[in-house]
Every structure is written in C-alpha cells, then in structure tokens.
Chain A
Amino acid sequence: MNLVIRTLSAAAMSLAVGGQAMAQDAYDIGALFPLSGHTAAFGEMYRSATSLAVEHINADKFLDKPLTVTFEDSQAQAQTAVVAMNKLVRVAQVPVVLTGFSAVSKAIAPLGERDEVLVINGGASSPDLAGLSPYFYNVIPLANDEVKTLLPYLAEEMGARKIALVYVDDPLGQAVVETLGEDAPKNGMELAGSFAISSSTSQFASIAARVRQTGADAVFLAYFGQQLISLAKQLRDAGVEVPFVGISTIGDPNFIADPAGEGTIYVSQKTDWGADDALTRRFVDGYREQFGKEPTPYDANYYNATMIVAKVIDELESDGLEVTGKAIRDKLAEIRSFRVVGGELEFHDDGTVTVPSQINLIENRAVRVVQ
C-alpha cells in the first residue's frame, strides 16, 4: 500500500514538475484532432504532419525555446472537443490550437475567442467556417472557392456539359449545391441532378440508377471519409462510367489508393511535390523518409499551420513581445501573407485564405497534376 502511494505521488510529482518545466522551457501549442473513433485516420494524418513540422522547427533552433505540441482527442465530436479544448486552454494554457472538422471547429471557436486563443483549421472546408470569430483562421481554402476553380477546367478541358451531384446534406454539401447551381451555367454547363445522401446511408446502387438516368458526363462527389470510397465503388459497380470530379475532400489517400478513384479529377491547393524550393523539398523528403508514403494536401496544411505559428512566434521574439494567443493572432493578421509549402498563402480578415490551387487527376492510384 505504502509503496503504491509512494510510486503514485512520485509519478504525480514528476508530472507536475515536468509540466512546469515544459511551460518555462518551451513554447507549447495545442492540437485537437480525432485520435479515436471512425475519423481517427484523419487525426493520425494531421498529427504526423504537425510532428514533422515541430521536428524541423526544433532542429533549426530558430526559436529561443523549443516548440512542443500537446495533442488532445476530439473524436470529431462537439462535446468531447469542448472538454478537451478547455483542458488545452486552462490546463496546458496553450496560445494556439490546431484543429480540423467543422463540428469541432464551430464548437471550440467561441472558447478560443473567449480566452484569446488562436484556433487554426487545416482540415475542414465547409464555407460556414468563414468569419467564425476573430480568433479563428483557416489554412485550407473553403469549398465554395474550390468549386469555382474547378468549373472552368471541367467545361474547357473535359468538355463536360451536364453534371450530376451526390452530396452529404451538410454545410459543405449545401455550399457545393449552391455554387454549382449558380456557376455551372456561367461556364456553359448544366446541373442535371443533385442527390443528397444521409451520413448513415450504405447502399448506393439506387442512387447510381438515378445518376445514370441524368445522362451526366461528370459526377461531382461532395463527400469525404470512408463513405466516399464506398459510394464511388458502388457507383462504378452499378454502371456509372463517367469520371468523378470533386474538391480537396477527394484527396484522401485511401480514396486515391482505391481502384474506384481511378480517373477522378479534383481541385486542391497547390502541392507540387516535385518542386525544388527548399521548403517543399524538406517537407516532402522528410515526410517520405519518416512515414514511407506520399504526403497529402492535408499533411501540407498542418505542416504549414505549424510553420506559420513558429514564424509568427519568431517575429514576436525579435519584437521583444510576450508570446500570447492575442499577440500571435494580431501578428498573424498583420503579416497576412506567408511563404509555405505549395507557394504563397494569404489570410483574409474573415479568417479565410487564398492559396495557389491546382487540378489533379488520379491515375494508376497516384495523383498527377494536370493544371
């Protein structure tokens, strides 16, 4: 019994001491990712990219103190995220939290504003994440902008005239419906049919029958996650032969690796892994070496987000300012534009971002940039 108490208190002591020591000797930032549950695959991806950035930052020693990240699990759910966010803000007292997923972003944004903690989203692209709070920034372009980038390519290069849309009835899906409805005619195309699917649907043969009936020459998939692959596979199996098109949600490595993804055309932010600028080389080579696979745009987003935070802290250091959430947010809004993997990134006042984008084609289970 005595031994147990002694061990426990020793452990508690070391934890407490360790915690204090960390707070003094390092810049700690928070990351709220789904580390468990059915979206854990995304959280894992976000986490590896964030860790890689931290590794590079600390190897360069360009900050006065090392950068550390406290990871918390959001399970991609609002309530879990709020509890975890409170822990990050109140216990770990981080000035910045990286996150993803729109429900989580919307649930924690008010907490970030209340406690002056900067929240950066690199994963969710639903348009209602614009102007969420002065402390909420996206490093990922939102869906409506991406659709506008994609449409001219579909009309001019692919010669598409009729588009059918399959979407989840969430803000992302609704934004795509709206933007397609408005912008497709401007590009000489017609939205021939749009089909909303519940997040729990698992049989898609009947949807395929209706998609075939529209006679569309491209099927827009406004989807993400595991359902996307199941949907694409079942559409193909049920005789939908025309190419799939979509936005950056398509760039899921599992989808790219799946035969159902073959021939899909989608827009994403610029991720020319072959580019020879130092920043891109280091990210891509480091990623390949450490994880033995190709990075995705999401990886680049979280790598970039972490790098941007480090750069802002660096600026604050040279200005001799204290590193707080408010200071980081103000400095970020002041600098606005950053050199990142993929090119130049510029923040806007409503928390959205402009980054160079590209059109990709999935070919032989790999991504090829076509424009």
Chain B
Amino acid sequence: MVNYFANLVTVTGISMILAISLNLLIGYAGIFSMAHAAFYGVGAYVAALLALHYTAELTLAVPLAMVTCAAASLLISLPALRVRGEYFVAASLGLQVIAFTVFEQWHSVTGGLSGLIGIPVAELFGYSLASPLAFMGVTIALVALVALAVICLLRTAFGRDLRAIRDDETAAAAAGKNVAVIKSIAVAISSALCAVAGVLYAFNIAFVNPESFTLNLSVLVMAMVIIGGAGTITGPIIGAALIQCLPAALSWLPLPPQNIGYLQQILYGLAMVLLMIYRPAGLMGKARSKG
C-alpha cells in the first residue's frame, strides 16, 4: 500500500517537474511550446542509454541529460524563435512530430518502437534507490529544486527581462533587450529542467519507448499548466497533481470501466474550455481583468 502511494507520488512529481518547466515558457516568457514531450523524451533516452551502458548514477545522469537537452533546444530554438506566436506553436508542433519519428526510426540508438528495456535501478552517490520510498524521496527533492531554481531565476534581472518580453516584445526590443537571445536561454533552461523529469521517468519505469513521448503528452502538460494557472508558481504544481490524480481517483469509483477513460478526457477538455471562458488565468491565477 505504502509503495503504491510512493509510486503515485513519484509519477505525480515527474509531471510537476514537466509542468513547472513548461510554465517557465508559457507563463513567464510567453512562448507556447508544443514540443515539451520531445525534450522529456531526450532526457529519458539519455538517462536510459547512460544507465544501460555505463552507470545508473543520478548525479551523472541528471547533469548529462540537462546539458544534452539544453544543447538540443538551442540548436532548434535559435532559428525558430525568430518567428512569433502562432508560427512558433506550429514550429514546435512540427518539431514534436519529427522528434517522435526520430525516436521511432533511429533503431541503433533508441531501439525503435520496441524501446529500451532492463534499465537498471538508479543510484545516488552509489546507494541503490531500489525502494519506491527512496525514489519518491529523490523525486520530491528534485521537484523542490526545480521549483526553487525557477523562483530564483525569476528574481534575477533575466527574470525581469523575460516578463518584459512577455508583456510587450516590441517595447522590450526598443529598450535594447536582445529578445532572441533571452528567449533562447529561456527555452534552454526550460528544456534542461524538463530533462530532469525524463531521467526520473526512465529510472522509475525502467523501460523507455517512443509511445511515452507523443504530442498527447505535450498537450497534457500544457493542460496542467493552463488549468493550474500559467505564470504562477503554485499553478503548475496544483495542475499536475490534479490531472495526475484524476485517473487514480476515478478508478476508485464504481463507474462503468469501459467509459472511464473517455469521461476523464471529456473532463479535461471541459475544464480547459470552462476555465478559458470564466477564469483564463487558471485556478491559481489572479482573476484579473485583461485589457
């Protein structure tokens, strides 16, 4: 029983990291990325390959995955960020589809659709994290670290620049800010934080395949951020907890099981629509009047 809940907390924690890192883009930088699952996947594959071939040490896997994701995102975002708004949404959608194709087709590295199996148990400073409770502890610590990193980042001059760009890109550029560089750095940081979630996922499930990193997941993470409240610290955390626990909560209820999945999805969908109509800032956001 304890282990079941430990696992549930771990999975929720991973979603929280995803949502917090995406919120940095959607909520603070005004960049609407639909490719978050792609970076999550890169993080997971890096951790899986490292663990299968060299070591399952988290203190190595996490930094390596973060650096790889940040580098990959820079490669892509530097050109893509030249365009605004809807074009970036479209570009990131395209990127997500292409990333999935690469995960699926690059057999020699990703194992194709059959994926990578038998990922060993994670280690922290040489101690095995085989117990679900220990792994949950590490996950919670990492969620806290990621949240803290975002909070600190927002207090710096860089954080102020980001919000300036979000609120008025033209004014920020006129004030001498290098918009493209600031945005690219934001994307790189967000991807690096997202990679942390990928590493945890790979070790938690011990099995990585492309089907875990689809557009649907990007959308789900986006829903977490939006429902919780973009541009707030607590919003994505609450959003992730809500969306992750909804299936578990529903499965305890005596509903006709063949329709549970659909009902869940319909609930997400309705929540998104109703929130956008009545409370576009999300559950945790201030109900400010927009102008």
> Taking beta carbons and an 8 Å cutoff, which residues of A are in contact with B?
15, 35-37, 40, 43-44, 71-73, 75, 77-80, 82-84, 86-87, 89-91, 102-103, 106-107, 110, 126, 128, 168-171, 174, 198-199
Report if B285 contacts A (CB, 8 A).
Answer: no
B207 surroundings in chain A (CB, below 8 A): 78, 103, 106-107, 110
Given A82-B205, A91-B1, A103:B115 Cβ within 8 A: yes
B101 surroundings in chain A (CB, below 8 A): 198
Given A40-B258, A44-B258, A83-B248, A198:B115 Cβ within 8 A: no
A333 to B102, CA, bound (A): 41
A36 surroundings in chain B (CB, below 8 A): 258-262, 264-265
Q: Are A72 and B261 in contact, with the CB atoms below 8 A?
A: no
- List 18 other contacts, CB 8 Å, given A107-B206, A110-B207, A170-B112: A43-B258, A78-B205, A79-B11, A82-B204, A83-B11, A83-B248, A86-B7, A87-B4, A87-B248, A87-B251, A106-B117, A106-B207, A110-B118, A128-B117, A168-B113, A169-B113, A174-B112, A174-B114
Report if B68 contacts A (CB, 8 A).
Answer: no
B205 surroundings in chain A (CB, below 8 A): 78-79, 82, 107
Q: For A90, give the chain B residue with the smallest CB separation.
A: B4
Q: Are B115 and A106 in contact, with the CB atoms below 8 A?
A: yes
Q: For B112, give the chain A residue with the smallest CB separation.
A: A169
B257 surroundings in chain A (CB, below 8 A): 35, 71, 73
B3 surroundings in chain A (CB, below 8 A): 86, 90
Q: For A83, give the chain B residue with the smallest CB separation.
A: B11
Partner pick for A103 among B209, B258, B265, CB 8 A cutoff: B209
> Taking beta carbons and an 8 Å cutoff, which residues of B are in contact with A?
1-4, 7-8, 11, 101, 104-105, 112-115, 117-118, 132, 201, 204-207, 209, 211-212, 247-248, 251-252, 257-262, 264-265
B258 surroundings in chain A (CB, below 8 A): 35-36, 40, 43-44
Q: For B254, give the chain A residue with the smallest CB separation.
A: A15
Partner pick for A72 among B11, B211, B251, CB 8 A cutoff: B251
Q: Are A77 and B206 in contact, with the CB atoms below 8 A?
A: no
Across the A-B interface, give the 10 residue pairs with the lowest CB-CB distance, nearest first: A36-B261, A90-B4, A170-B113, A171-B114, A86-B7, A107-B207, A86-B4, A90-B3, A35-B257, A91-B4
B105 surroundings in chain A (CB, below 8 A): 169, 198
**CB proximity of B96 to chain A, nearest CB, Å:** 12
Selected A-B contacts with CB under 8 Å, 21 pairs: A35-B260, A36-B260, A36-B261, A40-B261, A73-B251, A73-B260, A75-B261, A77-B211, A78-B212, A83-B248, A90-B2, A90-B7, A103-B207, A103-B209, A103-B211, A106-B115, A110-B206, A169-B113, A171-B114, A174-B112, A198-B105
**CB proximity of A291 to chain B, nearest CB, Å:** 14
A36 to B1, CA, bound (A): 25
A40 to B260, CA, bound (A): 11
B212 surroundings in chain A (CB, below 8 A): 77-79
Q: Are A90 and B1 in contact, with the CB atoms below 8 A?
A: yes
A107 to B265, CA, bound (A): 24
Q: Are B261 and A35 in contact, with the CB atoms below 8 A?
A: yes
B259 surroundings in chain A (CB, below 8 A): 36
B114 surroundings in chain A (CB, below 8 A): 102, 106, 126, 128, 170-171, 174
A83 to B212, CA, bound (A): 14
Q: For B265, give the chain A residue with the smallest CB separation.
A: A36
**CB proximity of A94 to chain B, nearest CB, Å:** 12
A169 surroundings in chain B (CB, below 8 A): 104-105, 112-113
Given A77-B212, A91-B1, A199:B261 Cβ within 8 A: no
A103 to B112, CA, bound (A): 12
B260 surroundings in chain A (CB, below 8 A): 35-36, 73
Q: For B107, give the chain A residue with the smallest CB separation.
A: A169
Most buried by B among A107, A126, A198: A107
**CB proximity of B8 to chain A, nearest CB, Å:** 6
Q: For A108, give the chain B residue with the smallest CB separation.
A: B207
